[in-house]
Structures are given as C-alpha cells and as structure tokens.
C-alpha cells in the first residue's frame, strides 16, 4: 500500500468525506480538509487528535485559498459540491460556481504531476437502452444540471491527465455526516417512520453503492494509480441494478409491514433510468464489500438514533 501522501480533500466533512478522511489517515496519509461547513456538521471531530489531520474552513471557489492549499500536496480529492439534481435546481448559480467553475479552476492551477481522484456520477448516462448495460464507453447524455456539470468536469479532468474519474452510483449507508435524501436512505427512512411510500415512475432503474465502498474505490485507486490513471470507472454494486419498485421489495424483506404504492399520475423529477456495468473497475481487483441488504439493515439501526430533516441536502 502506498503511504505518506499529502492529500487535500475539499468537502471532506461531507457525506463521502466523513468516511473517507478517517480511512486515509488510518492508512498513514497526511490529510488537509477544506470545507465551508454549510450544514454545521461536526463529522470529523474524532480526527482532530490525529497529528496528520488539518482542517481549513473556507470555500473551494476561492482561487487564492485553493492555490495556497494545493501547493504542497501530492493528491487532490475534490469532494466539495452541491450534490444532487434537487439541490442544483434550487440553487443553479451555486451549482454553476461550485460544481463546474471551481472544479475547472482547480484543474488549471494544479501542476501536471499532482494526482487527482475525482467523484463524478453515473447519472451522466441519462436514459439507457432497455436491457443494455451502460459501460464507460456508453455515450453520456446527462439530464440534470448536476449531471451536465459533472460530465463537463470529467472531460477536462481526463484531458488534463494524471487523474482517475469515479462514476459513482447512487450512494447509500450510514455516515457521520448523514444524508437522508439519497434514494435508498430516504426509502428506508420512510419505511421505518411512515411505513409507506408513494412511487412515481417506479420502473425507473439505477445502480447503487455503499458509502464505505466509495471510500474503498478511492483507496484502491490511490494504491493502484499508475495502472488505473487517465480512465473513468463506474463504481456500483453489480447485483444492485434495481428499479424503485424492486428496491422497495428489498426493503420490505427487512420491514414486512412496509407498504409501497405506485402513483397513477405524477412524474419523478429525476428522470435517469439505466443499468450499469461495473466490470471495468472489478477487473482491476476492486471488490465491493457492502451489499444492499447490509446497508438497509445498517440504516434501520441508524434511524433508531436519528430522526431529523437536518440530515439531508434539501
């Protein structure tokens, strides 16, 4: 395992970072987190005792700050973003400046030898062909502003080189900085507290990945950078290409009195509908360690402790 990197993680106190940063520290890396703490989260409190951990409160759109923080690092993991279609629709200016302009600025100020491992999204596939898996060669047809920005940033990232793009499936699972608004997390929350959910366009399919396996993918990319660099990789569970209806059936196995109904009218604001192949990253030796049923059981335990809409992005 590669050790001793100086790593800058923007948005490191967020949902992904609250799992990833402690793992990077445990692997022997020196980690600086930049975050604006817009959700007033305290998700990295337990990292403060580690001498290899540093934290800066600031904005990833601040070019002078980004130049200063990135100057002394070997690796940048830019997690800072307004994540998800609903949040970007609610604040399109913030989405443009954070998800697009700040990322392009970062790529320009980094030196060619600095490594970048970036989360993109497999929502860039938009609407796939029925019964056909989306691979990394599938044309990208993003539908949401979030997906459009991510696709543009990925092109600049791979054109720059010395980088890995991880096209993440819909993430689920418990984390110190929790997000209840993600699809699996949301449906389990509704199953626990409401015992029912109404589904719009329940046949739409997408792929899923546990938040800890996202960290696993980034650690794998860091350890195998030279053989994986300059490529995009789908990151999801190969046995979890499920429609919303099928997802509810899986949740019902854990909560038998959970009821889900298909709405005869109405539309899902997130129009993505596709199935995804994760074979490319699996061929590099990456193995997902946390299945969907594990995540559902974990979320049920987690929701015993929390019931608060502060745990979301919208």
Q: Is the dihedral of CA 302, 169, 235, 219 positive or negative?
A: negative
Query: What pLDDT does 314 receive?
Result: 63
- What does pTM read for this prediction? 0.95
- For residue 171, the 8-state DSSP code is E
In CATH terms, the fold of domain 6-172+208-238 is Rossmann fold (3.40.50)
Q: What is the pLDDT of residues 240-273, one digit of tens each?
A: 999 999 999 999 999 999 999 998 877 776 778 9
CA–CA gap between residue 151 and residue 148 (Å, rounded): 5
Mean pLDDT of 273-301: 97
Indicate the average pLDDT of the chain.
Answer: 94
Query: What pLDDT does 307 receive?
Result: 84
Query: What pLDDT does 2 receive?
Result: 47
Query: What pLDDT does 309 receive?
Result: 65
Q: What is the pLDDT of residues 82-122, one digit of tens each?
A: 998 889 999 999 999 999 999 999 999 999 999 999 999 99
Hey, where are the domains in the chain? Answer: 6-172+208-238
Query: What pLDDT does 272 receive?
Result: 83
Tokens 């609610």 belong to residue = 90
List, as own/partner pairs, every contact residues 36-40 make where C-beta atoms lie below 8 angstroms and the sequence separation is at least 24, other chains included: 36/60, 36/80, 37/13, 39/14, 39/177, 39/310
- Provide the CB-side half-sphere exposure for 154 (13 A, CA): 24
Percent above pLDDT 70 for the chain: 96
Query: What pLDDT does 157 receive?
Result: 98
């Amino acid at each position: 395992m590669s050790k001793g990197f100086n790593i800058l993680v923007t948005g490191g106190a967020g949902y992904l970072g609250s799992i990833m940063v402690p793992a990077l520290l445990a692997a022997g890396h020196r980690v600086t987190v930049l975050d604006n703490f817009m959700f007033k989260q305290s998700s990295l409190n337990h990292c403060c005792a580690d001498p290899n951990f540093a934290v800066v409160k600031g904005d990833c759109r601040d070019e002078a700050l980004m130049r200063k923080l990135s100057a002394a690092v070997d690796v940048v993991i830019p997690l800072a973003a307004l994540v998800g279609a609903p949040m970007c629709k609610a604040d399109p200016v913030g989405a443009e400046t954070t998800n697009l302009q700040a990322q392009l600025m970062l790529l320009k100020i980094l030196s060619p030898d600095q490594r970048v491992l970036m989360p993109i999204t497999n929502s860039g596939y938009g609407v796939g062909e029925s019964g056909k898996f989306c691979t990394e060669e599938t044309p990208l047809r993003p539908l949401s502003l979030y997906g459009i920005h991510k696709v543009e940033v990925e092109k600049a990232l791979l054109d720059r080189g010395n980088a890995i793009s991880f096209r993440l499936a819909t993430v689920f699972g418990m984390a110190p900085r929790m997000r209840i608004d993600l699809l699996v997390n949301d449906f389990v929350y509704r199953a626990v507290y409401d015992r029912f959910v109404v589904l719009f366009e329940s046949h739409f399919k997408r792929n899923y990945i546990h938040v800890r396996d996202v960290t696993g993918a980034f650690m794998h990319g860091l350890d195998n950078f030279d053989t994986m660099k300059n490529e995009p990789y789908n990151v999801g569970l190969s046995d979890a290409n499920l429609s919303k209806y099928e997802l509810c059936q899986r949740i019902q196995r854990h909560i038998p009195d959970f009821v889900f109904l298909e709405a005869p009218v109405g539309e899902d604001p997130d129009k993505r509908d596709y199935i995804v192949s994760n074979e490319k990253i699996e061929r590099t030796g990456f193995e997902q360690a946390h299945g969907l049923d594990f995540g559902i059981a974990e979320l049920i335990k987690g929701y015993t402790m929390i019931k608060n809409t502060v745990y979301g992005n919208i």
